[in-house]
Amino acid sequence: MQVTTKAIVLSSLKYGDTSLIVKAFTQTDGLKSYLLKGVLASKKGKLKAAYFLPLTQLELTATHKNKGTLETIREVKVLNPYKSLHTDIVKNSLVLFLAEMLGNSIQEEQQDASLYNYLEYSMQWLDSNETIANFHLLFLLNLTKFLGFYPEESEGINSYFDLQEGQFVASPTLNPLIENENAASFKRLLGINFDALKGIKIAKGIRESLLKSVILYFELHLHGFRKPKSLAVLNAVFD
């Protein structure tokens, strides 16, 4: 079946000497993988490797057989071209990290328009704003809404966040916890949008510790989730 759909690139892997396997989250069919034969060798073809950088927003005309095999792309054009995501070293490191997190988290080959719209908006926001030190923390927390394990917010004085149960508790449990200053910063990120990040300051050490906890939160709640290899690069950039 031929479809035309928006898509966001999650990964691009070299296959053989001249081809790529591209994994993308599509607006119409969820997660899809495509084989781009000869794209690295052809300079005149409609498909160019530069179109498939992580988190690039595309419009694809593709053939979807929906049999769990690699699909094919007939035509592609870039939507919402980025001004800074792939040229600013900090933003590019964020993009590589978040693309890997998304690739390890999204498993469904089915339409999820709300998730697609969230990803599209988030990357456009990141591209056009400069107050981004805590962007990845809020991005990942809000992502859990679509994956089904958003933290249960607490209106009381509960000062420990139980990562296994996904909720704040009044006293320590045997499960992994976010506590003390980390828990206070964690609470401040719940229920806000990206524009509110301008008013939130989190110390570097707490930010790194929180990110480790958020990644563990994903591990605990997503079957088969793998820790991102790009985390070390991200930490180095924010050093």
CA distances for 60 relative to 9, 67, 135, 177, angstroms: 11, 19, 28, 43
CATH of the domain at 227: 1.20.1440.120
Percent of the chain with pLDDT over 70: 98
Q: Is the pLDDT of residue 103 over 90?
A: yes
How does residue 44 score in pLDDT terms, banded at 50, 70 and 90?
A: confident
The reply to whether 12 and 108 lie within a common domain is no
Q: Residue 21's pLDDT is what?
A: 97
Alpha carbons 49 and 44: distance in angstroms, whole number? 12
In a domain, 175, yes or no: yes
Predicted confidence (pLDDT) per residue in 161-220, tens digit = 999 999 999 999 999 999 999 999 999 999 999 999 999 999 999 999 999 999 999 999
Alpha carbons 187 and 151: distance in angstroms, whole number? 10
Q: Is the pLDDT of residue 156 over 70?
A: no
Chosen domain end from 59, 78, 97: 78
Q: Which two tokens stand for residue 87?
A: 């040229």
Predicted confidence (pLDDT) per residue in 51-96, tens digit = 999 999 999 999 998 887 899 999 999 999 999 999 999 999 999 9
Residue range(s) defining the domain that contains residue 128? 89-237
Q: Is the pLDDT of residue 155 over 70?
A: no
Alpha carbons 238 and 229: distance in angstroms, whole number? 16
Predicted confidence (pLDDT) per residue in 107-130, tens digit = 888 899 999 999 999 999 999 999
In a domain, 83, yes or no: no
Alpha carbons 99 and 209: distance in angstroms, whole number? 20
- Contact, 11 vs 99, CB < 8 A? yes
- Is residue 218 packed enough to be buried (19+ CB in 10 Å), middle (13-18) or exposed (0-12)? buried
Q: Domain total for the chain?
A: 2
The reply to whether 140 and 38 lie within a common domain is no
Alpha carbons 92 and 13: distance in angstroms, whole number? 18
In a domain, 84, yes or no: no
